[in-house]
Amino acid sequence: MRILVTGAEGFIGRALLCRLLTDMDGTDVTGLDLAVAPPWASGDRLRWIRGGLDDRAVLEQLGAAPFDLVFHLASIPGGRAEAEPALGRRVNLDASLDLLQLLAQSRHRPRVVYASSIAVYGALSQAPVSAQTEARPAITYGAHKRMVEIALADHTRRGDLSGIALRLPGIVARPRPVSGFGSAFMSELLHALSAGESYVCPVSPDATAWWLSAKAAVDNLVLAGKLDVCGTLQPPALRLSIAEVVASSVQLFGTARSAGVSFAPDARIEAVFGRYPELDASAELALGFAHDASVADMISNAVGARIWRDKKANSPQ
């Protein structure tokens, strides 16, 4: 099986690539990114293409190699797309449409897993959100993600792609410095909690958000690649308040590490990123999609090895 991962050196791309190379035997993986190949990427099973999908030469290279499965993750983040909408269009919309069109022309109906975003929903009411909730994007990034969902669905209807779009929430914990994402505070908070640093949280303790670790996001992406289901799906995520995340981190890291967290809610951030309603992902759960098993799991998946190293060092046993 030949697999393509776009945005392969991004936060999720890197985790996905490692998983694919570790777990799936008999696969050839091509990573595409503006960044150079990571140093560990020299194996026989990983080919690396450095460049962007808005580069004709890159598309030609991709066109020459038929892929069975494509994970399309490459995009510029929401903050940057909002500031530079023409760049956002070129990378997040046009280049995505070019990729889909190229793959559709391959005539063997490749599977395409598209990393869409909960940004497609726009302002959320307090009603539970599911993939059936009407998309009314309120940022340019979300508008482009929605447009690509529609194009993917149309290619799927035409029978030239087998497309599935997952509307991912803000994934934690992005590496520092976390920038360009409105939900950056979620990652920043986890880094601060795990490191015992002081952190001024821009939303209140009862602000609720959807939390999903990169590990769980990769689980869901890999499953999406294997399923024989097409369409736009809302993967499950834990709906947690900041207070719940802090409380769980106290159990993981001890009280001292959470002592540095203080709150200075920013009304704008709180309104957009701190009032997430219930998530109804029952259809997706039935298909096998899953959130992190618990708050503690989400935190430990998110900030990874640091916890276990520290726990071991601090363990009374």
Query: 141 catalytic, yes or no?
Result: yes
Q: Do 52 and 98 touch, CB atoms closer than 8 A?
A: no
Residues 79-118 that bind a copy of itself (CB under 8 A): 85-86, 89, 93-94, 97, 101
Per DSSP, the three-state class of 196 is coil
> Cα torsion for 222, 228, 231, 234, to the nearest 10°?
-40
Residue with tokens 């994970």: 71
The helix (run of H) or strand (run of E) holding residue 217 is helix 214-226
Q: Does 128 bind a copy of itself (CB under 8 A)?
A: no
Return the structure tokens found at 275.
């009032």
- The minimum distance between CB 138 and a copy of itself, in angstroms, equals 7
The only residue of 56, 158, 176, 309 in contact with a copy of itself, by rule CB under 8 A: 158
Return the structure tokens found at 147.
């447009």
- Rounded CA gap, 291 and 216, in Å? 6
Q: Do 299 and 307 touch, CB atoms closer than 8 A?
A: yes
Q: Does 56 bind a copy of itself (CB under 8 A)?
A: no
Q: Which one is catalytic: 114, 121, 141, 199?
A: 141
The only residue of 157, 226, 268, 311 in contact with a copy of itself, by rule CB under 8 A: 157
- The minimum distance between CB 114 and a copy of itself, in angstroms, equals 15
- Rounded CA gap, 61 and 149, in Å? 24
Q: Does 44 bind a copy of itself (CB under 8 A)?
A: no
The only residue of 55, 68, 154, 297 in contact with a copy of itself, by rule CB under 8 A: 154
Q: Which residues are near a copy of itself by CB under 8 A?
A: 85-86, 89, 93-94, 97, 101, 134, 137-138, 140, 143, 146-147, 150-151, 153-154, 157-158
Q: Catalytic amino acids?
A: 141
